[in-house]
Amino acid sequence: MTAIETHQLTKRFGDVIALDELDLIVPRGKICAFLGPNGAGKTTTLRILTGLAKPTSGTASIEGIPIGSAQKPSIGFLPDAPNFYNWMNPRQFLTYIARLHNLENPPIDATLERVGLKEARKKRIGGFSRGMKQRLCIAQALLPKPKVLLLDEPVSALDPAGRKDVLDIMSSLRGEMTVFYSTHILSDAERICDVVAILGKGRLILQANRDDLMTQYVRPVFAIDTLPDYIPQLNGLANQIKTKPWTKRMELHGAQLRVNVHNVETAQRELLSLIADIPVLRFERANATLEDVFLLLTGAESEVTQ
């Protein structure tokens, strides 16, 4: 039932250790978000899994097939910066991909329909938006019907509409194949992933089911929302809150303030007093997010931020 497995996987570039004895197990049929700060080793891991890079030591396998062996695992891959022949149209491009894979009767039109490009199948790729190109790259990865889909930052450069389209496609693959993807957009990962693996400085910090992780690391967080007209007052409130000894971390986005605290009872009592002079639309103890957990586990939550 294991789709991806690494054991003591290590990659060095001279004196730099990109991966440090990575032990990772990804269950079959799940959507696994591979998280980590820039330079943590996410892309290096994906390059090794695809055979584009060789490890310094350790092993990796996909669907039980060792990476680097004569037998090739069934994978599809979306790199972080895909390139195309811009003079082609999507149908021509997928026909070219099908020939590279020696596919007979490839489901080109069905694949284009699945990624929302059926109506654009005869248009030049050079005129596509970044979101359309990303969907086309997912189409080429899906065309050979892989058992494991590897995606490197699939939504990082997309606008909200483009991100939603790609995330919907990825979510639709749950149970059909294993999806293993790197990302730094934690809210998107929280939305669609089943499993979370967090990497830091080349080492696996934690791997867990998303729901178990959120329960285990539930944090005391308060959310305060006001009207847009009262944003200046909310800014003033934020300045007061960040000086309190019970404040762990704070985020201010427009008319929304989110406060992580050390002591729930003290924080709740004092917050009620502090917000008395501001029209508040919402004041409640909120659930922790994947971002809260990520910042805690990667050591990035040491300071109060605004």
Identical fold between 2-215 and 221-286: no
Angle value at C-alpha 270, between 264 and 276, nearest 5 degrees: 130
pLDDT at 212: 85
Q: In 3D, which of 117, 95, 123 has the Cα closest to residue 108? A: 95
HSE of 293, CA atoms in CB hemisphere, 13 A? 27
pLDDT at 299: 67
The C-alpha atoms of residue 85 and residue 305 are separated, in whole angstroms, by 45
pLDDT at 132: 92
pLDDT at 303: 42
pLDDT at 218: 65
Mean pLDDT, the chain, integer: 90
pLDDT 10s digits, 69-86:
989 899 999 998 888 999
What's the topology of domain 221-286?
A: Alpha-Beta Plaits (3.30.70)
Higher pLDDT, 226 or 158: 226
Q: Residue 231 burial by CB count (10 A; 0-12/13-18/19+): exposed, middle or buried?
A: middle
State mean pLDDT over 175-199.
91
Alpha helices (H) along 81-159: 90-100, 108-114, 130-142
The C-alpha atoms of residue 47 and residue 55 are separated, in whole angstroms, by 10
Q: DSSP secondary-structure letter at 167?
A: H
Most confidently modeled range among 113-122, 208-217, 257-266? 113-122
Q: Residue 80 burial by CB count (10 A; 0-12/13-18/19+): exposed, middle or buried?
A: middle
Domain residue ranges of the chain, discontinuous segments joined by +: 2-215, 221-286
Band of residue 127 on the pLDDT scale cut at 50, 70, 90: very high
Out of 122-131, 157-166, 194-203, 224-233, pick the least confident.
157-166
pLDDT 10s digits, 11-44:
999 999 999 999 999 999 999 999 988 888 999 9
Cβ partners under 8 Å of residue 99, min gap 6: none
pLDDT at 211: 85
Q: Using an 8 Å Cβ cutoff, are 180 and 148 in contact?
A: yes
State mean pLDDT over 45-74.
94
* pLDDT at 49 exceeding the cut of 60: yes
> Both tokens of residue 47?
């390059």
CATH 3.40.50.300 fits 2-215, yes or no: yes
Band of residue 244 on the pLDDT scale cut at 50, 70, 90: very high
The C-alpha atoms of residue 132 and residue 84 are separated, in whole angstroms, by 12
* pLDDT at 221 exceeding the cut of 70: yes
Residue whose tokens read 């919907």: 168
Three-state DSSP class for residue 155? coil
* pLDDT at 302 exceeding the cut of 70: no
Side chain identity at residue 284, one-letter code: E
* pLDDT at 59 exceeding the cut of 50: yes
Please give the span between the terminal C-alpha atoms of the chain, in angstroms, as a whole number.
44
pTM score > 0.85 for this model? no
State the greatest distance between any 2 C-alpha atoms of the chain, in Å, as a whole number.
70
